[in-house]
């Protein structure tokens, strides 16, 4: 069969970026009682979004609008830019895949952080890009070192998530904006703002959507609670946005997804309520961590990363013992970040289940 694959694909490993919780449930033979591993929003989507999806279901015999006109215009109005600055795709994952194909030919240099979002690296590898991975500075991504690596390698892309996943840290938006003039001319900053809706004031940098040096990525999966729809969007200079049309799956964002996202965007009250609930749940998780001798890291996201104080093997054992008690959580993939476990916020029942399970997991 490998004779059918391109030499590039034949060289790729057979790994996948993430194993889903359903697969873990099937392996362990019991369901999770608390789903706190994928940074989903246990507070759910807006009731208006649920109603819009339900209303759209009967019309699912029609393809979604491939131009995604209504949603694109609503996003543009929300951010005070034009629809030409906005491209909607099958989640940030889908947009990252298309962006990689637009910009990365085999051998092209790309910079990311060591331990940052694996799906970005997955898509770069699929295009034959050569990754330079810059260590975190404690629990922060390191803008100075990332810039230095981009300059040294003349990177085509520099990927940075702010707020960050998996560590939950953030830089003030002004720090991100200050990176732009220092980028080498060949480098496009890929700013993953999946958690931007949940960060403290000032996290979102003041960058013109016409700035050709950056592409920003947003999602309906986190604050808006619509991970199961797979819908996100990119904000960039209209020329770069237009290039997506050359290769993207034009009908890839379905009709129910567009309807649900539009209704979610229009219910900013719900997003405000979710932000307050997330902040409160973060505090509960921090307290639970501290009470159990773990060190909770500051979080600008919908999860709390907890330093377990030892190595990856230890953190992994804790995860395994949490899973045995029905708690789905995750951990960073590489050292030294893998001294931590990462626990998403959830509703009161989910957090109580975690609080109940953690002492046993640590005593194991």
Tell which positions 107-146 bind a copy of itself, by CB under 8 A. 108, 119, 126
CB 131 within 8 A of CB 159: no
Binding mask 186-225 for a copy of itself (x = CB under 8 A): x-x-----------------------x--------x---x
Give me the least distance between CB of 110 and a copy of itself, in Å please.
13
Per CB under 8 A, contacts with a copy of itself among 6-25 are 6-9, 12-14, 16-18, 20, 22-23
SS3 content of the chain, % helix, strand, coil (to 5): 45, 15, 40
Among candidates 236, 352, 355, 351, which has minimal Cα distance to 294?
Answer: 355
**Residue 267 Cβ vs a copy of itself, minimum distance, rounded to whole Å:** 14
Q: Cα–Cα distance between 63 and 66 in angstroms, integer?
A: 8
HSE of 364 in the Cβ direction (CA atoms, 13 Å)?
17
One of 31, 60, 290, 349 touching a copy of itself (CB under 8 A): 60
Residues from 78 through 97 that contact a copy of itself (CB under 8 A) = 90-91, 93-94, 97
Residue 308, SS3 per DSSP: coil
Q: Is 310 in the site for a copy of itself (CB under 8 A)?
A: no
User: Which residues ranging from 263 to 282 are in contact with a copy of itself (CB under 8 A)?
Assistant: none
DSSP SS3 for 219? strand
Q: Of 270, 273, 247, whose CA–CA distance to 260 is shortest? A: 270
Provide CB contacts within 8 A for 322, sequence distance 6+. 328, 329, 341, 354, 357, 358, 361
Q: Minimal distance in Å, beta carbon 244 to a copy of itself?
A: 10
Residue 50 C-beta: closest distance to a copy of itself, Å: 5
Only segment of 37-45, 134-142, 167-175, 350-358 that touches a copy of itself (CB under 8 A)? 37-45
Stretch 244-263: interaction string toward a copy of itself, x if CB under 8 A: -xxx-xxxxxxxxx--x---
């Amino acid at each position: 069969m490998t004779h059918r694959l391109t030499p590039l694909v034949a060289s790729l490993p057979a790994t996948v970026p993430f194993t889903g919780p359903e697969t873990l449930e099937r392996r362990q033979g019991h369901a999770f009682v608390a789903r706190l591993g994928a940074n989903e929003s246990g507070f759910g989507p807006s009731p208006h979004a649920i109603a819009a999806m339900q209303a759209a279901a009967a019309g699912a015999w029609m393809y979604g609008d491939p131009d995604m006109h209504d949603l694109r215009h609503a996003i543009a109005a929300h951010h005070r830019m034009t629809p030409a600055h906005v491209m909607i795709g099958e989640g940030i994952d889908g947009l990252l895949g298309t962006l990689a194909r637009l910009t990365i030919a085999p051998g092209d240099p790309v910079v990311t952080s060591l331990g940052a979002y694996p799906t970005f690296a997955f898509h770069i590898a699929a295009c034959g890009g050569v990754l330079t991975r810059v260590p975190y500075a404690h629990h922060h991504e390191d803008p100075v070192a990332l810039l230095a690596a981009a300059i040294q390698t003349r990177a085509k892309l520099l990927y940075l998530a702010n707020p960050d996943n998996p560590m939950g840290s953030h830089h003030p938006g002004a720090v991100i904006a200050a990176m732009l003039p220092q980028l080498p001319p060949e480098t496009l900053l890929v700013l993953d703002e999946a958690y931007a809706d949940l960060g403290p004031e000032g996290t979102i940098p003041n960058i013109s959507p016409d700035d050709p040096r950056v592409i920003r990525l947003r999602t309906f999966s986190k604050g808006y609670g619509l991970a199961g729809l797979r819908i996100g969007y990119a904000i960039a200079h209209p020329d770069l946005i237009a290039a997506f049309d050359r290769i993207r799956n034009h009908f890839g964002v379905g009709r129910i997804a567009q309807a649900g996202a539009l209704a979610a965007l229009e219910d900013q009250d719900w997003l405000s309520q979710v932000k307050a609930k997330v902040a409160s749940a973060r505090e509960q998780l921090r307290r639970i961590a501290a009470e159990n001798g773990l060190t909770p890291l500051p979080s600008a996201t919908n999860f709390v990363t907890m330093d377990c104080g030892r190595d990856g093997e230890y953190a992994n054992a804790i995860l395994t013992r949490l899973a045995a008690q029905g708690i789905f959580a995750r951990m960073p993939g590489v050292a030294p970040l893998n001294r931590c476990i990462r626990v998403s916020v959830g509703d009161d029942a989910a957090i109580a289940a975690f609080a109940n399970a953690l002492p046993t997991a640590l005593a194991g």
